[in-house]
Structure 1
Amino acid sequence: MATQDRHHQLADMSADAVLSFAEDQHAARQSAERAILEAAYQWAVLHSPDALPATDKRGRERAKPAGAAGTPRITEHAAATFGARIQTSPYGAKRLIADAVDLVHRLPKLWAGVKAGQVRSTHARHVADATRELTADEAAWVDAEVVEIADGRLAWTRFEAVVEGKVAAASPELARAKEEAAAKDTFIRRSRVDKHGIMTMTIRDHAAVILGSEAGLDATADGLKDQMPDATKQQRRLAAFALLTNPEAHLDLTVGPVKPKVLIRLHCTPDSAIARMEGHGPLTTEYVRHLVEHYASGVKVQPVINLNQGASVDAYEIPHRLREAVHLIHPGDTFPFAANLSRKVDLDHQIPYAEGGPTSTDNLGPMTRTHHRIKTHAGWEVRQPFPGIVIWRDPHGAHFLVDQTGTRRVTGTTADQTPTRAEIALMQLTVDWAA
């Protein structure tokens, strides 16, 4: 049904009809998710180790178990092509394929329910992931225990709790080993939940340590009531935390703690009210001024890099200034549907340096090591017709355009469409590749 027709149809529906329509669409979505899960398994079947070429080339593609230990092996980079077609990263597709393979080979009751339309694919996948470290017999026991409730009858958190309990009951030894590992996995670090100028710190330690620290925090916060009469309890707790961890902190929450030396990368333009802090997100320029005035002991302004002028060097090695320019052009991994925004990635010569590819902004793109290996060994091809516009071709001939707005599957334009600059470049590259 065309979108416009659907809008008109919904506008004429009664309340009961809208509910029936939504119910039908929900069922269709569930069916489609099951079908994609089945397709993921078939993709694994098609990419057995027999599909690998016989070569001793360093870094060549290998075969690995698709799911849990003992499941059939598939080619290492098979997931990348499948993931691009369903608009997800190679990592996401790898997890999907692993879940499908485990369901077929280790969780037959759940798999039969998926194929019969009686088990939700999300629930089946959760069990597959939760049982991956169990033996085949232990996984089969969990399969029989949870299949009846994997149809969506339980709220998701309740279903998770049941599965967690069954997995622990299936292998008490593994549960104990995880408890021991968790006891060693203690830390204090900043979290990734950083927006609007606010950051989050996560502390993970033994329960007794956390409870004791919390009691000390509350006691210190209570002692600040006279000094901070208008503050909320949480504001006093934050001030107490600052005092306990940094004795020179100021109680005035608008002033902030002492000013240690830190590196903050801010990207600002004169005509915008919004700046971007790397690793954090957008900030208003007013907040940036506040940040500099109250928290910065010194500000170092880096020279502006003109991204409209391509930069290059006559060497394979990439100097810092060129790396900075590439990062500004490509703030994230350039592989289709990739999510990584870190600077700690490979800078790939899209046309290999050994084949005449320059070390320049229009031939370099950041990628994780895994995506770099996929590009090198799994039959993917990439070109960058303009800095910041990257066009990929997968091993089966599909094209994807990656730029700062994300990834799009690109096809030819129709007669009534004016091709964009990128589509013109894609059509030319398609002709060149075909030749």
Structure 2
Amino acid sequence: MHLTAALDELTEAELLDHADEVARTQRECEVQVLRIALQVAVINNPDRLDPEVARLPGRERTRRFGGVGTHDVTEFAATSLGARLGISTGSAHSLMADALDLAIRLPQLWRRVEALEVKASYARFVARRTRDLTIDQALYVDERVVESADGRIPWSRFEDLVTGAIVASDPVAAARKEQENATRQVASPTRSTEDGMRGFFIRAPFHVITKLDATVQWLADILAALGDTDDNDARRVKAVAVLATPHEAVRLIEAFLASQNAVETTEQPDVDWAKVIPTVTLFVHLYGATDPAEATGTARVEGHGPVTEAWVREHLGPHARFTIQPVFDLAGQAPVDAYEIPDRHRRAVHLMTPADTFPWGACTREMQIDHTVPYRSMKDGGPPGQSRVGNYGPMTPFHHRIKTHTSWQVQQPFPGIYVWRDPHGALYLVDHTGTRRVDATPRRSPAEEALHRALFDLAA
């Protein structure tokens, strides 16, 4: 297909195939730009400068653009490159720094970038985040993120993966940064105003923010219970105003408790605040290792990302009570015949498949649990044991609607492994590591299409 083909003359399938071609060309161009930036950095090495001239005021000197282990580059080199690319000098400087780090400090990522398996944007993100690490630490991160850097997981999850690898590469340094950041807390109104509105910014440990968020929502729900008909957002703003006036908060809570207990009294009730204020539950995952040398020192707090185990002990520990849960048996979940999904099954699915199972799904909470093979009642000839681990898949309501009401198809050949087929025949594999395109074949002959469909049917 020619790139100059008129788009309005293409069928939808041809248009999507053309999008495949353009995406590949775009990736090839991004890789070539990185190669150019790397070669510009190589050419503009310190040998190009006369040391005597470089000592003169204002003359060009050399600087290390990338991380430790990359060679110095003449500092003006980025200006010409930036001009040719139509980007700022600063952006060209960053491009050269990223290229140097990839080629020297992140070799596995760089090989996959050159093979067009990893997008330049993913690789450059890792380069920037690891710039302050030693070479050994950068290689550690390179080893642990290279597999998932090919776009199989959404950007937000990839950021968490890289952050966790950086923490694990040097838990001591990560803990030190966390301690430094703990002193940089702020609660202040924003500077800007818009149409008479203004914001209030809070930077605090996430358990403080989680507690605040839960309390604001609780007060908003109280307002609704007492007859406030505004929407939830408006009631949350009112709840903040109530919190800013403590005696009003007490009065509101007293009125709510009285309405709940059907008690009318002018006497101030004896409120047990520990029971009244909502309790927040956080799920903290610690990674065990049989070999102490393999321990990462990393923990993951659901909804908040990776932190060090030291952070959990020093910052979360004083504010929380921990309940240790045993290892959950994912395999030993007996199926049931009912359409309703037992709580034990929901927990197993969450642990086995924490994210939306639709290709490149990003959502990790508040999802619906879908029966991969639609449930049929026993009266309609449905087989026993349809509600089981291996026939579930968490999805957002939107993706659930797509599965139910469009030509998208999905099979789950093994528990937690999903094979999706889009309406035009492309196959996608989704598992706990993310999403991968199974085939990248453009237009197929009728025989190839028949074989393609047979492969999908085999996943059933």
State the TM-score, normalized to the length of structure 1. 0.49
The one of the two structures with greater contact order (alpha-carbon pairs below 8 A, sep at least 6) is 2
